Structure 1
Amino acid sequence: MTLFSLICSDYRKYKKYGANGFVIIFLTQGFWAQFQYRIAHFFHTKIRWQPFRILVMLPMYFWQKGIEIMTGISIPASAQIGHSFYIAHFGGIILNSNTILGNNCNISQGVTIGVSGLGEKRGVPVIGDNVYIGANAVIAGKIKVNDNSLIGACSLVSNDVPENSVVVGVPAVVVSDKTSKGYI
């Protein structure tokens, strides 16, 4: 997808969730962070010539830090996020720079997606399509959160999450196969 189509897909998702009007959506902190991420990620992936890359990415870095300070949302340019991404509430959202997040995902406030583990098990999660991540959830380690999954609020996910499942708790365990339908 092009940069413009990715921003449009995010915009449509915000509109779907009730942020009516162009001005209202651009006053939403989650959208600010996504908009900045989309532009920074575009330049991060397209510009390879080192002297020019530094000149372009330095302002992107400061822009990201400004957004991070204002909103509490940290999305590095090197993260990979699919289309129709939605941040439900702002504050305390941290994504590792190696995060891979699929299409049509929702995350809530306080979510951390980070590195964990030792040796061969050290790494960052890969999150599939249509995944809902509840408030204050932590997803860490070299794991896979499969498609159509729901991660409950305040859960610690450190093992693979099967497709079409609902996980909750510390550590998170599968409690249902109702999927994320209705939450996305």
Structure 2
Amino acid sequence: MFKRMREDIQCIFDQDPAARSTIEVVLTYSGLHATWSHRIAHALYKKKLLFLARAVSQVSRFFTGIEIHPGAQIGRRFFIDHGMGVVIGETCEIGNDVTLYQGVTLGGTGKEKGKRHPTLCDNVLVASGAKVLGSITIGENSKVGAGSVVLKDVPSDSTVVGIPGTVVISNGVKVKGKYDHQDIPDPVADKCQMLENQITHLTDRLEQLEQQQVKEGELR
């Protein structure tokens, strides 16, 4: 147990240049507190002490702002940076050396039973505000951009951005035909533009019909 705790502390020093001392990390890092609390809650969950497990997780949520369901399976050297607003669902499976930033949701898409939350393989990074939803898999060494909404599997060694999430880099190579993050199209604006084009087309057609009627009237 103490070996795992030392490993967790060292992980923070490796990931966060703002970490200055062990006492600071132990007393002030909410992501670390949430991880340690989850281990207790998960142990209770596996022993079928479901109410106690959920009570521990909710107390942790109150103090850290991070909600991890006791049923979630989390690997070693898990790092939550800042952490406020992070939500991890019951059937999530998280590998080793995974990093989450604030506002990340690893959630479901409905009321389906069974495996309904994401699987994050080793060395995955999910940036601020990203939503990874449903029983999907984020492959090893992949990154999810800030604010993205990922609804489909992501292959290993990839970067996914946008709403819905789109793979823009795969195995270190920019995917042909994909957008840079700042150039991702706005689906609402695209729909408005389509409607505007249809209105313009109908207006032109109506004017043509009116002119045709006037000409026919003159000929009579």
Q: What corresponds to 1:77 in structure 2?
A: 70
1:120-150 Cα distance to aligned partner (Å, 9 max, x none): 9972111100000000000001211110000
Contact in 1 for aligned 2:91/2:115 (Cα 8 Å): no
Larger Rg: 2
Q: Name the residue aligned to 2:29.
A: 28
Tell me the distance in 2 between the aligned counterparts of 1:149 and 1:113. Answer: 15
Higher helix share: 2
User: What amino acid is aligned across from residue 117 of structure 2 in structure 1?
Assistant: V
1:116 aligns with 2:109: yes
TM-score relative to the length of structure 2: 0.70
Q: Stretches of 4+ moved more than 4 A in 1?
A: 117-122
Q: In structure 2, how many angstroms separate the alpha carbons of the residues matched to 1:118 and 1:63?
A: 24
Once the two structures are superposed, what CA deviation does each residue of 1:77-112 show, in whole Å capped at 9, x if it has no partner? Answer: 211000000001121100001110111000000000
Question: 1:155 aligns to what?
Answer: 148
C-alpha contact (below 8 Å) 2:90/2:117 kept by paired residues: no
1:67 partnered with 2:67: no
Q: Taking structure 1 as reference, are residues 44 and 20 closer, same or farther at Cα in structure 2, changes over 3 Å only?
A: farther
- Distance of aligned partners of 1:121 and 1:162 in 2 relative to their CA distance in 1, 3 Å threshold: farther
1:4 CA displacement = 3.7
Give the partner amino acid of 1:81. Answer: I
SS of 1:166's equivalent in the other structure is strand
- For residue 105 of structure 1, what is the amino acid of its counterpart? V
Identity across matched positions, percent: 31
Which of 139, 145, 148 is matched with 1:146 structurally? 139
1:72 is displaced (CA, Å) by: 1.5
Unpaired stretches in structure 2, ≥5 consecutive residues:
174-220
Q: TM-score, normalised by structure 1?
A: 0.82
* Aligned residue identity for 2:9: Y
SS at match of 1:8: helix
The AA in structure 2 aligned to 1:9 is E
The count of corresponding residues between Structure 1 and Structure 2 is: 169
C-alpha distance 38-20 of structure 1, shift in aligned 2 (>3 A): farther
